[in-house]
Amino acid sequence: MVFNQKLLKEWLDNGVPINGLDCAGQVFSQWDFSGIVFDQVDFSGAKFLDVRFEQSVFNECNFNGAEFIGCHAEQALFNHCEMTQLSIDDCFLYETKWQASSLTQGQIKQSYLKEAAFLNSSLEKVTLSNLDLSETLFANTVFASTRFIRCQLYKSIFYDLDCRGLHLEDCLLKHIVWSKSNLKGLNFEAMDLSLCVFTECDLSLSSFKHSNLSQASFKGANLEKANFDGVKAPFAVFVEAYGNELSAQFAEFRQAVFVEADFEQAKFNHSDLAMTVWHKANAFECDFTACNLDHTDFSFSNLTKSKFEQAAFFQTRFHRALTDQADLKTQAGALEKDDALYEAELWSEQYRQLPQYSRHTTAFKRSES
């Protein structure tokens, strides 16, 4: 349909859905598109200056080469749109949704996208700079040569993504959830990643050197050959993590949890591991040389061939830990057996051996009486 400015304004004023209109190359200054549904409209090369798009819906529209400056698009939906070389500057895009849309070779800068959502979309060769993306959701979205520069990503969620083509520069990354994503080989060095969640992520070969990982969670993550040298990770969680040949030297892990972790041949030498918990962990051939192991609990763990030279022990528990070092559990400050836990185990074993029917039978007889 050929563009007619007067007719288009009349349709917009009356809330009429726009279908198949050719708006290529047009300039819209201070127009109000709010609440309008646009289907298969060609906006390629169009320029939008201080235009309002609140709660507008764009289905299968073409925005290739389009430019948005100073626009307001709260709760707008871009569904199956083409957006190659799109440029967005100084726009308010709160709670916008980008569904199955392709944003390639473009840029978004100096804009507010808090609580936005990018779903099943592509962000290839896109630069996002000086954006507020806090609490934004990225799910099933493609990152390839995608750059985040000085962005606020607080409490954002990256779910089930391949992030190997993601580049982060001077971004605020606290409290982010990275779940089931491929972050292999990424550089997180010297970043504040406190309270971040990396559940079931592939972080093999990634580097976190000198980063703040306070209260971060790596539950079920792959940390093979990752570098954690010099990190600050008090209260961090490594439950069921896999970290063979991990390097975590001269680091702080006070009160971190390594329950059922698999860290064969990992290097923790000269690190602070005070009050950490290693129940049922596999620490085969790990290096704990010169570590602070004050109140560390290695109960039920595998410490075969691990090194503890010059390590500091105080109330360090080795209850039923597997080790090939005959004198490890008898060193000053080491506890070979946790008496309270041993008593609890004996009681539990005796309780399991009781006839199971006796309790139910007794309860039944009492109810009859």
- Give residue-wise pLDDT tens across range 2-28: 778 889 999 999 999 999 999 999 999
101-105, 125-129, 252-256, 334-338: lowest mean pLDDT where?
Answer: 334-338
Which residues is 297 bridged to in the sheet?
A: 277, 317
Q: What contacts 353, CB < 8 A, 6 or more positions away?
A: none
- Cα distance between residue 90 and residue 57, in whole Å: 21
- Cα distance between residue 118 and residue 285, in whole Å: 44
All CATH 2.160.20.80 domain ranges in the chain, comma separated: 184-369
Q: Examine the pLDDT at 176 and tell me if it is beyond 90.
A: yes
Place of tokens 């792959």: 222
Give the CATH number of domain 184-369: 2.160.20.80
Cα distances (angstroms) measured from residue 93 to each of 98, 102, 332 = 11, 17, 62
Specify the amino acid at residue 186: L
**Predicted pLDDT of residue 336:** 85
Q: What is the mean pLDDT of residues 320-336?
A: 87
- Cα distance between residue 106 and residue 256, in whole Å: 42
Q: Pick the residue with more confidence: 337 or 357?
A: 337
In three-state secondary structure terms, 129 is strand
Q: Examine the pLDDT at 152 and tell me if it is beyond 90.
A: yes
- Cα distance between residue 8 and residue 20, in whole Å: 12
Q: Which long-range contacts (CB under 8 A, 24 or more apart) does 298-307 make?
A: 299/338, 299/341, 303/328, 307/269
* Assigned token pair, 317: 């528990």
CB atoms under 10 Å from CB of 108, counted, come to: 23
Cα 244 versus chain centre, distance: 21
Q: Examine the pLDDT at 363 and tell me if it is beyond 70.
A: no
pTM here? 0.85
Specify the amino acid at residue 77: L
- Whether the CB-CB separation of 123 and 146 falls below 8 Å is answered with yes
**Predicted pLDDT of residue 277:** 98
Q: What is the mean pLDDT of residues 61-76?
A: 98
Q: Examine the pLDDT at 272 and tell me if it is beyond 50.
A: yes
292 membership: H or E segment, kind and range: strand 292-294
Per-residue pLDDT tens over the stretch 41-61 = 999 999 999 999 999 999 999
**Predicted pLDDT of residue 267:** 98
* Assigned token pair, 156: 């954002």
- Cα distance between residue 155 and residue 190, in whole Å: 19
**Predicted pLDDT of residue 357:** 53
**Predicted pLDDT of residue 364:** 43
Span 1-172 CATH architecture = 3 Solenoid (2.160)
Residue 163's nearest CA partner among 175, 180, 136, 181 is 181
